[in-house]
Amino acid sequence: MNMKNLDKAISDRIRVWLDGNYDQDTKNEIQQLIDAGKTEELTDAFYKDLEFGTGGLRGIMGVGTNRVNKYTLGMATQGLSNYLKKVYGDEPISVAIAHDSRNNAEKFAGIVADVFSANGIRVYYFDALRPTPELSFAIRELGCKSGVMLTASHNPKEYSGYKAYWDDGCQVLPPHDKNIIEEVNKIESVDQVRFDGNKDLIEVIGSDMDQKYIETVAATAVNREAIKAQHDLNIVFSPIHGTAVKIVPDALKAIGFTNVNLVEEQCTIDGNFPTVIYPNPEEKEALSMALDKARKLDADLVMATDPDADRVGIAVKNEKGEFELLNGNQTAVLLFHYLLNAWEKAGKFRGNEYIVKTIVTTFLIDKFAASMDVKCYNVLTGFKYIGELMTRLQGQEVFIAGGEESYGYLVGDHVRDKDAVVSCTMIAEMTAYYKQQGSSLYEALLGIYAEYGLYKEELISLTKKGKRGAEEIREIMDKLRHDPPVMIGNKRVLTIRDYLAKTEKDIESGRINSIDFPASNVLQFFTEGEYIISARPSGTEPKIKFYISVNGELDSPANFRKKEKELDEVIETIKKDLEF
């Protein structure tokens, strides 16, 4: 055994695994890495424990404290079990568990179910893979105290993850997330994890819950007349080898659409995602097969969901009749604008309705919501903050929709997480409505721009892997805090919001005010002309993300491309200012 090139703290962690009560395959894999001199891999695998971020627990599968495996999942579940017992005492405790199509997801879900049941907690266990939003729905429907979804969302195939939910169907939030971690950290040995499940406490659920969920999704439809008139709307859909394979087509059928064409090659359940580089509907490559099929069928709409069906990407025909992918902000603009108008026409407004978005999602939504006298809340990045607000306002205000620029939306209050299933049904309804009016989603989007201004956003993600990568991300954020830019995109910076310090600084006066947000490592720079640049380390991936938002007036939809090019040039200037 040779670990002389490793940090002592890391070597000590490795010895715990080699000498402790871990299975022999795990020990053999660690020894192989040591024998091969894989210092960097061992460091990345053991230099820290996996932590709950904006999406829960997520990481690369493999051996080590910083990897997703039987033991890290077992310790997380034991910690969650201990915390549930501490919070609820002698009350009956139940949880719901689901998994997506990831490699090892079913095995991991079984391990989690065993640990919960071994701790005397009743488990409702889905009989096969299910979408994340259905897990959130089931928690609420069954009156569970918690729930776990085994998924890594749209990450590459090497990843897996563990999303922990609370009794409202929302992902765990402060103080619960930190308290759970504290309970996990109290477990000094893997021997303290109860892996031997109690089968009497595990109840399998399935089709009955599917039916309730689909009926609830279908009930969110606003314009039944448009759906009926355009029931044969030509829709192409791909689940990208994931959980939406059956449930999205069934939901579309439930509200009345009769012409849904599946991308058969991507309907196979496969955690290797063989037809794509990344199973991410944000990527054009992931939708290439769907686009090919749409061209052959002359489709009206293309939709694709990620493996756990909480995000959806769409493509529509542009002014040349060519399919064009919309980004997450554009889809959110269309969806929110359509819903506000549809609710108004249906006479559903009572004056206490609201929508909610994240601070890095386009402010065009704020603009048209204000013009329609509908309250628009902004929350931190991470859909759990949208869910938290929904729970807090329940019974006081009426939720219409929530969304974020990363392709996640929710219509209706049946869950507390982003829901690509209901998003697909509402996007299809929206497409049917505009087609009935002799228009298209693309034309509707340009009409919104002409009325309220053209907003253009771009996301820059810098990947910084491993221990050194985490240090680089900290260094970037420190520099932005202590030596902030004065000019960005030839515009003066007027205001800086630091969500970690919970302050807003007016640059001209030097005045600093507090902001009412939970502390979060996010910086926002507001310039003349209402440009917004945001910097945020990802909570689920080894990345730092920069969100650029610029805008300008659009005098006519016919001038869209010209104006878009001008704003693209502004974005390029901003990138140079930020040294990208």
Q: For residues 415-429, b (16+ Cβ closer than 10 Å) or e, as one string? A: bbbbbbbbbbbbbbb
Give the DSSP H or E segment for 563.
Answer: helix 560-577
Q: Where are the beta strands (DSSP E) in 430-567?
A: 454-463, 487-488, 491-498, 503-506, 512-514, 523-527, 532-537, 543-552
What tokens appear for 573 in the block?
A: 């200037």
Q: Answer for the pair 168, 416: CB distance below 8 angstroms, yes or no.
A: yes
Dihedral of CA atoms 236, 266, 290, 459 in degrees, nearest 10, equals 110
Q: Answer for the pair 115, 183: CB distance below 8 angstroms, yes or no.
A: no
d(CA 549, CA 203): 48
β 543-552/532-537 pair status = antiparallel
Q: Where are the beta strands (DSSP E) in 100-244?
A: 122-126, 146-150, 159-166, 202-205, 235-238
* Residues 159, 161, 163: CA angle, nearest 5 degrees: 155
Q: Which of 117, 136, 146, 153 is catalytic?
A: 153
Dihedral of CA atoms 46, 52, 58, 62 in degrees, nearest 10, equals 20
| Residue positions counted in the chain | 580
At position 242, the amino acid (one-letter code) is G
Closest by CA position to 310, among listed 247, 253, 398, 361: 247
DSSP, collapsed to helix, strand or coil, labels residue 211 as helix
Asked whether the CA dihedral 443, 448, 450, 451 is positive or negative, the reply is: positive
At position 394, the amino acid (one-letter code) is Q
For 363, phi then psi, to 5°, come to: -80, 0
Active-site annotation holds for 153: yes
Active centre residues (catalytic): 153
